[in-house]
Amino acid sequence: MESKNKVIFIEPLTRIEGHLGIHAVADTEAKKYTDAHAYAPMFRGFEIILKGREPADAIWLTQRICGVCPTPHGLASVECVDMTYQAPPPPFAVAIRDFTLIGEQLYDSPLGCGILQGPDYCETVVKKFNSEWWSEAQGRKAERSDLHGYSTIADIMTALTPFTGSLWLKCLQMAKLGRKMNIIFGAKHPHVGTFIPGGVAKTVTVSDLEMFASMLSQHIAFAKELTAAFDDLLDFLIDVGYDNAGVRENDLISYGAYDDPYAYNANYEDMGEWGEKRSVSPGVIINGELVTTDLIEINLGVREFVAHSYYEEWTEKDLEKDPLGNEIAVEHPWNKETRPKPSSPKNWSEKYSWATAPRWHDWKNKVNGELNVVEAGPIARLWVTAKAKKVPESTGNSLKFTLPKANVLGFKVSEELTLEWKIPKNVNAIERLRARAYYHAYSAYVAYNLLLAALEMVKKGEAKIWNPYKRPKNGIGVGLVEAMRGALGHWCVMRNGKIHRYQVITPTTWNASPRDLNENLGPYEKAIVESPITEPIESELNGIDVVRVVRSFDPCLACTVHVYHGKSKIVKEVSPFVNVPK
Amino acid sequence: MSVERINVIWLQGQGCTGDTVSIAGATYPSLTDILNGFLPQAMGITLQYHPTLMLPHGEEAQKSLKAAVKGELDPFVLILEGSIPDESLAKKTNGFWCMMGEEEGKLMTFNDWLDRLAEKAAAVVAVGTCAAYGGIPHGSPNPTGAKGAYQYFGKDWKSKLGIPVICIPGCPAQGDHMTETLTHLVLTVRGLLPPPALDKYNRPLFIFEHLVHENCPRAGFFACGKYSKEFGEPYCMGLLGCKGPITHCDVPRRGFIDGIGGCPTIGSICIGCTEPEFPDGPFSPVFKKAPPGVFASEAVRDILGKIYALLHRLKRRKI
């Protein structure tokens, strides 16, 4: 008797950063997935390698956790070390750090939308798995074709085909340009070389700002096309009912991004204030509602568990209180000890992933007083910023901003354009992608305003890039920033000038987490469960819907398991393996 | 063996995908130039497997690895990104450091695939310092016993075609360093160029012969004794911890993407990321100055050079 349940393994789960495996159970009668495990199969041991080194070295080493999103690691680390060394940078240096991060985000969003996730909806894939979508897409006019130039939805799907599609190629080109903007100030990318405690190691000239401005104008023009093309594609996918893929609770976390040059002072006691001055707000959302925007409260609520991860527990508490006298939990990264213990794979009831399970504790008991499974990513950033009303662009239920005029050859729209990202009904695979495209536009908008502010600083003679500092012997620090994939935290405890403890929790650790001690599913796992099967159900499943859901999070696995590496596998597939068309 | 078509298999071990991102930023030739076959002599290159860029996933993706092992993709170049862990350490507790799917119910590690594929490869190219020499994961105390291909296979190992492991270090490797070397290999296989000459760590000399210090746009300031005392100044970065005098790399001169960037070039410091010892001593701590011995020998060469130049200035010109 054939069971209606099919188990699939997807390893390697390609078009993501790093190694990831997914085990999913499909109910082929109900046409949906009923269970899932996400596992990270690679380990390197950064926290162990960092011990005993100088905290400043972490700024370089921790970027090597991830070659796709290194700059946020560098920024989280330099802010963490600024605090540990008590070395605040001058305002102009903060602006330069912001430019470096924005350059990376302008690369990372087209990379995610166009190269890593977009191809899940390209002509080849849609024709193969969702032929009924394809015929509908061919007849569907693209509403915003005046902005992006494609006349039907099918044209957009064709444009997303790897290596040949025009949108795919343009995303590749714009991603490279974003990296060039990054290295004007960052020296090299991946792994920028200019973040130093107390500022930046960069001889800044007006040439740099002009070069940056010229490249930015292209990204401003491109943002108008990218958001329009994705709005059209995603609205179509909602119309065919795909917004029930990848749904999970509206529980989100953001640490905020793009510091206000005049507010950031690297001081822990003031972190709540300078955090709220960021252009992207920090915050925690539970059930769609804002719980807090205070970075101190957010930081102290972070917990990490290893019940289903290849590590041994730690029980000792190094730090009892933070500098303000608040209690620090034993599961907080300031107290965490990384103790790897490899053991057998796919042991679902025991340990099965090199990723840990971070959770956010509502320690002030504002909504439930519980450990919450929260999701990180551009959708979390936009949701929090739209709700929080900490920036003028925030309306309480949307984020509304106007991209300036930009006359650039090779782009469709030169006029200024007002964009509005509205808080969706729920978090799902489609909305994660849309948020990624809009985050590109918002980042370009922030860069433009910041550039004007930087020119003003130059005019006033305030273009200082570094404050020399004296290294104290002991200290603690935390750096909370946003990578493209979401909330990224670094924590340092320094003793006798050396790293006593250094911990990192990446956005993909939040999202790819295995079950926790209470058997709550991690965000990938939860999002797969109840997702529909849209591919034809034949003898074997390909799992395309699972990978679409997982890829909507833009996985970055080297990050997650700062030490592991995994892949996923599909049971059987017959079609010939087609590679780069040539 | 036909060389009309050359396949490429790109394998990732303990890495960060930085070299993949970096090669996407290569300019002359670019990655798409290579895949599109930018001139007749460089045509026919097919990327058969790349975990980050390929369209298929899961078992379908693994098909090309299996085909390569069976010899169906000959000739193929095996590109490695990321370091190679010591799985025997993880096996002690029945675990693994780097898993890459399974085969007939049996766990496959990255090392399993590497061993099978290296045996069949026309050439093995290690991109990035992790794949070449172990890089970050092999940093002290090297918790996973990580190595680079240079140590894992050994300096004297030769591929089926008699080519040693070619190392393109850098953290990550600079994009054009990778595309130029790959193109060089293709032209070598097709008899249009001799094999690239390598240094003692198997780095192509046409890229890695000279030191960062020698390639640095700030070297002119060094030559006239001008040193940056604080970050932001435009002079030699030697007193702020630059490891240029002990690191082989041409990034300061060529830039990192399309002529832009470069570490000491823009006011940062070299951290020695192309060297086998990276990230340990003498390349750490990052702000520690390069060993004084280098400067002493450099000073001697400098004096000899100035005497030579002085004597020659007194001679009558020949041309």
| pLDDT given for residue A17 in this prediction | 66
Question: Cβ A43–B97 below 8 Å, yes or no?
Answer: yes
pLDDT digits (tens, 9 = 90+) for B49-93: 998 877 777 777 888 999 999 999 999 999 999 999 999 999 999
- Residue A553 pLDDT exceeds 70: yes
How many CB atoms are located within 10 Å of the residue A495 CB?
Answer: 14
* Tokens standing for residue A14: 């390609």
Closest CA to A9 of B55, B58, B103: B58
Chain centroid to Cα B214, Å, comes to 19
pLDDT digits (tens, 9 = 90+) for B30-56: 998 998 899 999 999 999 999 887 777
Closest Cβ–Cβ partner in B63, B64, B98 for A565: B98
Question: Cβ B63–A573 below 8 Å, yes or no?
Answer: yes
Question: Cβ A567–B100 below 8 Å, yes or no?
Answer: yes
One-letter amino acid of A201: A
Closest Cβ–Cβ partner in B63, B89, B146 for A577: B63
User: Chain B partners of A62 at a C-beta cutoff of 8 Å?
Assistant: none
Exposure of B299 by Cβ count < 10 A (0-12 exposed, 13-18 middle, 19+ buried)? exposed
Closest Cβ–Cβ partner in A11, A17, A578 for B101: A11
Of the listed ranges A114-118, A415-419, A493-497, B135-139, the least confidently predicted one is A114-118
A226 touches chain B (CB under 8 A): no
pLDDT digits (tens, 9 = 90+) for B214-252: 999 999 999 888 999 999 999 999 999 999 999 999 999
Q: Which of B4, B21, B263, B283 to mutate to test the interface with A (most CBs of A within 10 A)?
A: B21
- Contacts with B, A 308-327, CB within 8 Å: 310
Q: Would you state the torsion angle of the CA atoms of residues A220, A223, A225, A229, taken in this order, to the nearest 10 degrees?
A: 180
Query: Is A137:A153 a contact under the CB 8 Å cutoff?
Result: yes
Question: Cβ B137–A45 below 8 Å, yes or no?
Answer: yes
- Contacts with B, A 489-508, CB within 8 Å: none
Bond before B285 cis per omega within 30 degrees = yes
Q: Which of A10, A13, A37, A49 to mutate to test the interface with B (most CBs of B within 10 A)?
A: A49
Q: Which of A8, A194, A567, A568 to mutate to test the interface with B (most CBs of B within 10 A)?
A: A567
For residue A119, what pLDDT band results from cuts at 50, 70 and 90?
very high
Whole-number Å distance between alpha carbons of B133 and B274: 9
Maximal C-alpha separation, chain A: 80
Please tell me whether residue A9 adopts helix, strand or coil conformation.
Answer: strand
User: Chain B partners of A573 at a C-beta cutoff of 8 Å?
Assistant: 56, 58-60, 63
| pLDDT given for residue A376 in this prediction | 98
Question: Cβ A543–B57 below 8 Å, yes or no?
Answer: yes
Chain centroid to Cα B258, Å, comes to 18
- Residue A226 pLDDT exceeds 60: yes
- Residue A335 pLDDT exceeds 50: yes
- Contacts with B, A 19-38, CB within 8 Å: 19, 21
Question: Cβ B256–A188 below 8 Å, yes or no?
Answer: yes
| pLDDT given for residue A3 in this prediction | 64
Closest Cβ–Cβ partner in B19, B136, B257 for A61: B136
User: Chain A partners of B51 at a C-beta cutoff of 8 Å?
Assistant: 12, 14, 19, 567
A330 touches chain B (CB under 8 A): no
User: Chain A partners of B14 at a C-beta cutoff of 8 Å?
Assistant: 42-44, 563, 565
Closest CA to B252 of B243, B242, B239, B261: B261
Report chain A's terminal Cα–Cα distance, integer Å.
45
CA distance A16 to chain B (A): 5
| pLDDT given for residue A566 in this prediction | 25
- Residue B23 pLDDT exceeds 60: yes
CA distance B307 to chain A (A): 34
| pLDDT given for residue A581 in this prediction | 27
Please tell me whether residue A265 adopts helix, strand or coil conformation.
Answer: coil
> ipTM of this model?
0.95
Whole-number Å distance between alpha carbons of A335 and A401: 41
Question: Cβ A67–B144 below 8 Å, yes or no?
Answer: no
| pLDDT given for residue B298 in this prediction | 82
Query: What pTM was estimated for this model as a whole?
Result: 0.95
CA distance B19 to chain A (A): 7
pLDDT digits (tens, 9 = 90+) for B87-120: 999 999 999 999 888 788 788 899 999 999 999 9
Question: Cβ A568–B101 below 8 Å, yes or no?
Answer: yes
| pLDDT given for residue A563 in this prediction | 24
* Tokens standing for residue A304: 């990490």
User: Chain A partners of B231 at a C-beta cutoff of 8 Å?
Assistant: 196, 199-202, 465-466
Question: Cβ A125–B55 below 8 Å, yes or no?
Answer: yes
